Every structure is written in C-alpha cells, then in structure tokens.
Amino acid sequence: MLWLDSLWTYLAGASALVWLSILIQPWQPWRTRERFAVLEKDALSNDLSTVTVLIPARNEGRFIGDTLTALGRQGIGLTIIMIDDGSEDGTAEIARRAAPEDCHLEIISGAALPPGWAGKVWALEQGRERLTTPLVLLLDADIQLAPGALPALLAARQEKGVAFLSLMVALDMRGFWQALLMPAFVYFFKLLYPFHLSNGPGRLISAAAGGCILIDRDVLSEIGGFKSIKDAIIDDCSLACAVTRHGVRTWIGLTHSARSLRPYNGLSEIWRMVARSAYTQLRHSFVLLLLCTLVFTLACGLPVFILFAIPVLGAKLIAAAALLFMVTGYLPTLTYYGMPRLLALTMPLVGLIYLAMTWSSAIDHWRGHRSLWKGRVYSRDLKSSG
C-alpha cells in the first residue's frame, strides 16, 4: 500500500532528522572539545593553603583511603574536611589512618538528617560551616585525582575567569555492561546539558558534575550555602543553576585527570544508578516522559526496525542514513575514552535500555518507592534542581 510505504519513509526521515539536528547544532554537544588535562606532574611543592576539600562520606571505606592518598600528592598546606555521614563501615577510622602528612584533615561526625534535606547536601552544608579558606573543592569520597590535578584546576580557574569549575570524571568502563552503557551515560548527559552552552555567558543551561567541583567560598555564601539546594537529588546541576542565577559563570569539562574508583558491577547496579534520578530529571512529568519515549523510540528503535523489517527501499536508505548520523555523533565520546569504535553500532540498543531505565524510575515513583541511595531513603518530593 502506497500510503503505508510513505508512512515508513516519513518515519525514517524523522529519525534521521533527530540525529542530523544533533550533528548540526551550533553548540555541537556531541563533540569532546571541553577538556581538562594536567600538564604539570610534579605537584609536591605547590602551596594549596587557599583550598579546603569538602568530602561527604557515607560508608565509603573501600575508597576513602585512595582518595585521601591522591589528595596528599597535590601539594602542601591543603585542608581536608570529611563529613562522616553515619557510616557503618569504619570510614572515619580508615580516613584517619590514610590522612596525608602535608595536609590537615578534620573529620566531622554528621548530625541527623533534617526533614527536607538530601543527605549529601546536608553533609556538605555542615562542612561549609567550618570553611576558612577562599576556595573550596567539593569532592566525592570515591574520586581519585591525578598528581597535579588540583593545582591545574586552580590555574584553569584563573585562565577561564570563572568561580565555579566542575569535571566530568572518568567512570569505570571495564566489563561488558560498563563498556556498553557508561560512555553513553556521558554522551546523553552532554546532549541534555551541552557543555558549550553551559560554559558560555548565557543562563539557559547550567551543567555540573558533582564528583569534582571547585568553587569560591564567597559564591557559596552569597547563594545561601547549600540550603539553597537542600532538597535536590540532582545536586550538582542544581548548584550550578543557583550559581548562574546569581550571575556567576561556570565551566564544565571532561577529564582523565580525575577518575571514579566506584565499580558498577553489571547491569543491575548501573540500572539502579540511572533509575534513581531519571524520572526526577524529567521533573516527575508524565508529559516529558511520553516525549522522551517518543524521541528514543523514533531515534533509536525505528531505524533498525525499518532497515531490517520494512521492504521499502527509500525508507531503508533513509534509515541507514539515520544510523550513520547516530554513529557519527557517538564516535567522539568512545574515542575520548579509548573504547572500541564498534560500540557505536550498539547505540540503538543502548538508547532503548536507557529508555527502559527511565520508565523503571517513573514506575518506582508512581508505586511510592522513594529514592534510595547508600542505604538512605528519601522523600519522593525531593527536587531535581533549583
């Protein structure tokens, strides 16, 4: 039937248009040009007395020792404040044993979580109250900095003229599911929050990666501290939004100079990590969920279906073009992380898996299953951003 053939052709065209529009956007979110790298390896003589590192830690005994050891290789005079948020695995004791010699480590026993606060944000606020230095590094307890990374961050702050600088740290991509899904996690984040727009003078997009953020203490004070984002589950972008609303420019980039030590072992752990905040990212909006479903189905599912199941030559050719655009956009991310380029061919499957994770997140929300993170259950009315 001619009308059905035309329908498949139009659908293939719509899919191709989605991927082509991503490629031709002026801000080019698929590229990896926003990068941070350490050029100077010898950091032992760097004076870091102007910086305090805030580390919120809840049951991070596996990682905190390596994280602190890496901080000890950044320079001298560094102040580290670790907020032990009710850990039950000896995190504080491990931290004391791993404390760097040339740094001052203070460990705070976190107070009980007040109503309406997210756990990490509350821990950071307790650390903020102890700040005496002009600069603050917000560092997750599982993030390991390469030698010289912190001095390089200070230099980048001066060079770029920003008071808020965050890094998308390198994630663990070893293993089948990690290789399949983790590069795409970064790729989709960059599509949702284009780094080039976030780094520009406008305030339309505010992006940050919470694992590693360098910020001026005065800026934190001026926005009201972490109380301004106290109910944020997605705290990093919420903090960036609060900062940009205050008229402060931010910068975010990819890096190999800071990496996450946390392994996500298999599909189930990655699934929980994504589903924890996916529907929150959509602001718990069913309309946005349907729109997300339409886009992912059109962009990821239909081209493969048309190419292999629909006997319409024109539609097949356009579907092949859609797949070509899709692969072209994903290749730079895979290349940056040194992953096999053939993984670009898995993007249709990966996109549908992420869509399933989003639906899983929404279903959990509708069933009243509240956000669970590191053994703590949050009220489901906590927000995604400011």
Looking at the fold, whether 99 and 211 belong to one and the same domain comes out as yes
**Would 203 be classed as within a structural domain?**
yes
pTM of the full structure: 0.92
Give 47's DSSP letter. Answer: B
Nearest-angstrom CA–CA distance, 116 and 124: 15
Domain of 130 in residue numbering reads as 35-265
Compute the 3-state secondary structure of the chain and give helix, strand, coil in percent, each to the nearest 5.
Answer: 50, 15, 35
* Domain edge (last residue) among 205, 237, 265: 265
Say if CB 65 and CB 94 are below 8 A apart: yes
**Tell me, what's the pLDDT at 3?**
79
Neighbouring residues of 16: CB distance < 8 A, sequence distance ≥ 6: 303, 318, 319, 321, 322, 325
Does 383 fall in a domain? no
Q: What is the pLDDT along the chain (386 residues), one digit of tens a residue?
A: 687 889 999 999 999 999 999 999 999 999 999 999 997 654 556 899 999 999 999 999 999 999 999 999 999 999 999 999 999 999 999 999 999 988 999 999 999 999 999 989 999 999 999 999 999 999 999 999 999 999 999 999 999 999 999 999 999 999 999 999 999 999 999 999 999 999 998 878 999 998 999 999 999 999 999 999 998 888 999 999 999 999 999 999 999 999 999 999 899 999 999 998 899 889 899 999 999 999 999 999 999 999 999 999 999 999 999 999 999 999 999 999 999 999 999 999 999 999 999 999 999 999 886 655 565 555 555 554 44
φ, ψ at 137 (rounded to 5°): -110, 115
* Structure-block tokens of residue 191: 């599509």
pLDDT in tens, 115-161: 999 989 999 999 999 999 999 999 999 999 999 999 999 999 999 99
Amino acid at 230: K
Based on the structure, what is the number of domains in the chain? 2
Whether 83 and 132 map to the same domain: the answer is yes
Give the CB-side neighbour count of residue 153, counting CA atoms within 13 A.
34
Q: Which residues have a Cβ under 8 Å from the Cβ of 202 and sit 6 or more positions away?
A: none
**234 and 134 assigned to the same domain:** yes
d(CA 173, CA 176): 8
Task: Using DSSP, state whether 115 is helix, strand or coil.
Answer: coil
Same domain, 261 and 289: no
- Tokens encoding 78: 């560094």
Is 304 in the same domain as 352?
yes
Looking at the structure, tell me whether residues 60 and 178 fall in a common domain: yes
Q: Give the whole-angstrom CA distance, residue 83 versus residue 127.
A: 6
